[in-house]
Structure 1
């Protein structure tokens, strides 16, 4: 198949996206597909004579995309439109676009909506469920409606909020995080009023809405849901601190156990909540949901990720490996179920 792996973009997770896209592109080529790596924001000024060549240097393409990082701020200031030169045209020539994007303008439904209008098949769920899942405040409300346990919390607006958590029925310790952030950027665990005020200031530097929620001090887990099937649970135990951006992407910074050491009863319960959480947000195709669990077995769903990371240390590939699905086969499977969702045929 002719496949565009779309990566890069303008979010704070640009670098992670490039790593995900590079790995996905390599894996699809191992499977015999004519995959190419394209930066959604910078695009291609000049199109090659053969857009989907048989021979292709993925690493060279990735290095070219990385080299644009230093010009990102300047180009964003000078250009009004998001899609780079020829991006839409290139994607229209592909049989499917693998979205290896993370964060704003990638995981929030905007690209999905544009591709729907252009008739471009893509991996992952649609624009509405992407937007809902990206907004942690909105997704929390959907979890509550559908009976998916989630930490008690509130969404604060930068223009009008109280600095006293008691005004919202909340008590320290608390978690403060951007409403639509990703990769745990801007997430703070606070234990006193001074830390709380500092965390609010820092979180608001990322965006104008912030989530404040009760801190669940327990074990952390993640569950992939692929085609309405819950994959084996993975437990995440950072060696230092919590599962923040550094611990997510620095090899050796966490102990990850898959399948997690849980009783059959607790495993089934968490997997059922994961499936219910995906349904609550109307997520199609695949996603990954994050959980915390207290010592007494009470569990809480934190959020859903509609385009889970596909880096060497990412969780969904580890969960797939636990049931015998290697990385290239997982990439191909995600394309297959996405094409089925779009009503498109595929050649395998």
Structure 2
């Protein structure tokens, strides 16, 4: 197949996405596909050849990239594109995607998991991997996901939706919200736009910090427990991973830098606990209408109860990411995992 692996974009998870895309592109090329990597926002400027011939590029157009310690400078990314319009799709991106048999969505965060790219592709009759536009949008919005979990009876921490606030509202919110708690921007990812204040002073700082990312937040009761995650592939749950942070908070730096956390796969839990958590992950996957694959994050408290945190409709797919580790524990190589995602997605009927 001719495959465009779409990555990058303008999300705070841009660099993670580029590493995912590069890993996937190289695996698909090893599988015999004509795969190329394309940056959603930067695209390909001033292409002097027939676009069709780019699928024969010997390196798949893969960049040398890695995840930095700090989140990307999105203003600098915007400034680097010659076309300074407000278009999300860079030069020649849609044209290349239209030439492909399928687009592998290596995107993470707001510009890839919120359903807008998927909706565009549906309108243009372009095949793509993973869930559709509506399920993706629901899963990206933590407020909507929490509502769906509550309605489906999936245990999740008590929470409050704050759809909009300004700096002037912070004193009143600080006074009325309980601590300790978790404060989350509704469309954040990779632990960006998340704070875990224990005191009123920390809560005030957290509310100010969240305004950098958006004014719609949720505030959850903080539950202490072991951090676990379980992937769904097709109609089955994969073996769980336990994440043991090396530092107090599992933030962006801890998540992506060597030594930031220990990841135990399969997780040291009982078969019964694996079954319960897998069933909950599958239930949320189906409740939201997700397709092909996803990953759901949990806490396991001291009383042995699971609490669902959120679901990722396009989880990380670097070779060291959690879903590939779970797939390996289930007997799938990284290349086989990428191939199954492509084949399952290719067979989907998107628009009736």
Fold match, TM over 0.5? yes
Displacement, 1:253?
A: 1.8
User: Is 1:111 paired with 2:117?
Assistant: yes
CA contact (8 A) 1:287 1:305 kept: yes
| Cα distance in structure 1, aligned partners of 2:62 and 2:334 | 21
| Cα distance in structure 2, aligned partners of 1:319 and 1:269 | 16
| Cα distance in structure 1, aligned partners of 2:194 and 2:74 | 24
| Cα distance in structure 2, aligned partners of 1:70 and 1:182 | 18
Match of 1:214 in 2: 221
**Cα deviation per residue 1:145-196 (whole Å; 9 max; x = unaligned)?**
00110111112122485644674xx531101121110101021111110100
User: Is 1:93 paired with 2:111?
Assistant: no
Q: TM-score, normalised by structure 1?
A: 0.92
Displacement, 1:121?
A: 0.2
| Cα distance in structure 1, aligned partners of 2:289 and 2:186 | 19
- Across the aligned residues of Structure 1 and Structure 2, the Cα RMSD in angstroms comes to 2.4
Match of 1:73 in 2: 78
CA contact (8 A) 1:291 1:300 kept: yes
* Secondary structure of 1:313's aligned partner: coil
Match of 2:2 in 1: 2
* Secondary structure of 1:149's aligned partner: coil
CA contact (8 A) 2:228 2:298 kept: yes
Displacement, 1:64?
A: 9.2
CA contact (8 A) 1:176 1:199 kept: yes
| Cα distance in structure 2, aligned partners of 1:101 and 1:195 | 32
| Cα distance in structure 2, aligned partners of 1:192 and 1:339 | 49
Distance 1:130-1:53 versus aligned 2 partners, 3 A rule: closer
Match of 1:41 in 2: 41
Match of 2:208 in 1: 201
User: Is 1:84 paired with 2:86?
Assistant: no
| Structure 1 range deviating more: 14-23 or 40-49 | 40-49
* Secondary structure of 1:139's aligned partner: helix
Distance 1:133-1:64 versus aligned 2 partners, 3 A rule: closer
Distance 1:93-1:262 versus aligned 2 partners, 3 A rule: same
Match of 2:323 in 1: 316
Displacement, 1:215?
A: 0.7
